[in-house]
A = this chain, B = another copy of it.
Amino acid sequence: MSSSVHQATCSAPVNIAVIKYWGKKDTTLILPTNDSLSVTLDQDHLRSVTTARADASFGSQDRLWLNGEEETIKADGRLRRCIDEMKKLRQAKESKDSNLPKLSEWAVHVCSENNFPTAAGLASSASGFAALIASLAALYELQPEVSSSELSRIARQGSGSACRSLFGGYVAWQGGEQSSGQDSLAVEVAPQSHWPELQALICVVSDAKKGTPSTAGMQRTVQTSPLLQHRIKEVVPDRMVKISEAIQKRDFDTFAEITMADSNNFHACCLDTAPPIFYMNDVSRAIVQLVEELNRANEADGKGKLVAYTYDAGPNAVLYAPKDNMPRILQTIRHYFPNADFDDTFDLLGKGVNASHRGAQEALSLPESLPSSFNANVIPVHEAGAVRRLIHTQVGDGPRVLERGAGKESLLNENGEPIRLQRAKRA
């Protein structure tokens, strides 16, 4: 493979909203009914990686592989729209500089992989579409002329929340007013460096039943929930202002209060849907209770909130907290929810950064640092594996260009086919 191959490989992060996106006013353009705001998580731990290559030899058909499986690029589908929009931006660039190779006229091959298993219960569409857009932007050499916000507008048309994964740190998706969607895009509220102490603990909760897919669920809420309209008009606008201010001030107390309230408000609207949508289960509820009890104990000590929970369209909890609070949170969670697989990415247990702790059987004690007011019987110690896995991560940066040209990061072989697929064929 030669580095003169027209190719780029990028990674993009996962983001978890603290002001939730739920409901579209335009399902084709993916225009949301309200603004939303998220924290970008560290790509060192969770990421999608995508290689995009343009080549005259590829013929007329764009192709895309996701985790080794080829996806159909439907004529009226979201992948088609994203690739076409990116090609248009390249075309505009080529029309200004006739020396540039006409990449926009060639088909692309795209290969994308997530480093986290579907079983983790994390939506991969946000990081996936962000990595797709970032890799095409690098392939087409669109930046810095084309801003990340402009790219986010295109990513949005792939998967709404993907637009927020075009930035690191603290990111707002401005819903916009225009019916064209021209002003529906992501902006940076604050970079990662502004408040790098914020960490996240993802509690992957077992759930027998498959939840309502969010795409279908949110439109059912739009059509049937009287409360959603109030959320859109009255609740979210005020919270967007207040949580942005809290982020500017690194005011964790306010950040936590709004984050928890908005998670609950979102799930309340799901419950207010006909038929109702339930994402949180009894284990999710137990984590809420535990967090509330931890916060009560911390506040009784005059130290404000310890931790905030938020739940997306599933039973998993994402706990946000400043890093100094994390040891206490982790130990408490591991006490009440024993035997969770635990990736100790920050080496809190002192057994090495890469040490995984798979279903340790020992009964874990509560932190001694907990104030005596803490009620040890707030929830029962759950059965082993009620929380299946813990992922400890932190606020992270935006998409990274891992490689321009075809080198060791490439997910495509010299023929423009997935390397993983090639391996599978050989095996």
Per the bound structure, the CA–CA distance linking A292 and B276 in Å amounts to 9
- List residues of chain B with CB within 8 A of the CB of A265: 226-227, 272
Interface-located stretch among A60-68, A277-285, A323-331? A277-285
- List residues of chain B with CB within 8 A of the CB of A278: 285, 288
| Chain B min CB distance to A15 (Å) | 24
Per the bound structure, the CA–CA distance linking A274 and B235 in Å amounts to 14
Which parts of A250-284 form the interface with B (CB within 8 Å)?
A: 257, 260-261, 264-265, 267-269, 271-276, 278, 281-282
- List residues of chain B with CB within 8 A of the CB of A276: 264, 288
Per the bound structure, the CA–CA distance linking A68 and B380 in Å amounts to 33
> When the two chains form the complex, which single residue of B209, B275, B281 contacts A292, counting CB atoms closer than 8 Å?
B275
Contact yes or no, B281 A261, CB < 8 A? no
- List residues of chain B with CB within 8 A of the CB of A288: 275-276, 278
Contact yes or no, A264 B271, CB < 8 A? yes
Residue of B nearest to A263 (CB): B276
Residue of B nearest to A286 (CB): B209
Contact yes or no, A261 B234, CB < 8 A? no
Contact yes or no, B264 A274, CB < 8 A? yes
Residue of B nearest to A379 (CB): B209
**Interface residue A230 (Cβ < 8 Å from any Cβ of B):** yes
- List residues of chain B with CB within 8 A of the CB of A380: 208
Contact yes or no, A267 B271, CB < 8 A? yes
Per the bound structure, the CA–CA distance linking A230 and B226 in Å amounts to 8
Which parts of A169-217 form the interface with B (CB within 8 Å)?
A: 208-209
Which parts of A376-427 form the interface with B (CB within 8 Å)?
A: 379-380
Per the bound structure, the CA–CA distance linking A273 and B209 in Å amounts to 26
> When the two chains form the complex, which single residue of B227, B257, B260 contacts A235, counting CB atoms closer than 8 Å?
B227
- List residues of chain B with CB within 8 A of the CB of A272: 227, 261, 264-265, 268
| Chain B min CB distance to A242 (Å) | 13
**Interface residue A231 (Cβ < 8 Å from any Cβ of B):** yes
Residue of B nearest to A257 (CB): B274
- List residues of chain B with CB within 8 A of the CB of A275: 260, 288, 292
User: Can you identify 24 A-B contacts, CB atoms within 8 angstroms?
Assistant: A208-B380, A209-B379, A226-B230, A226-B234, A226-B265, A227-B227, A227-B230, A227-B235, A227-B272, A229-B230, A230-B230, A230-B234, A264-B272, A264-B273, A264-B274, A265-B272, A267-B271, A268-B271, A268-B272, A271-B271, A276-B288, A278-B288, A281-B282, A282-B282
Q: Which 8 residue pairs spanning A and B have beta carbons closest together?
A: A230-B230, A268-B268, A268-B272, A268-B271, A275-B292, A282-B282, A264-B276, A227-B227
Interface residues, chain A, with chain B CB atoms under 8 Å away: 208-209, 224, 226-227, 229-231, 234-235, 257, 260-261, 264-265, 267-269, 271-276, 278, 281-282, 285, 288, 292, 379-380
Sample of 10 further A-B pairs with CB below 8 A, known A224-B261, A227-B265, A264-B271 = A209-B379, A226-B265, A227-B230, A261-B272, A264-B276, A268-B269, A268-B272, A275-B288, A278-B285, A282-B282
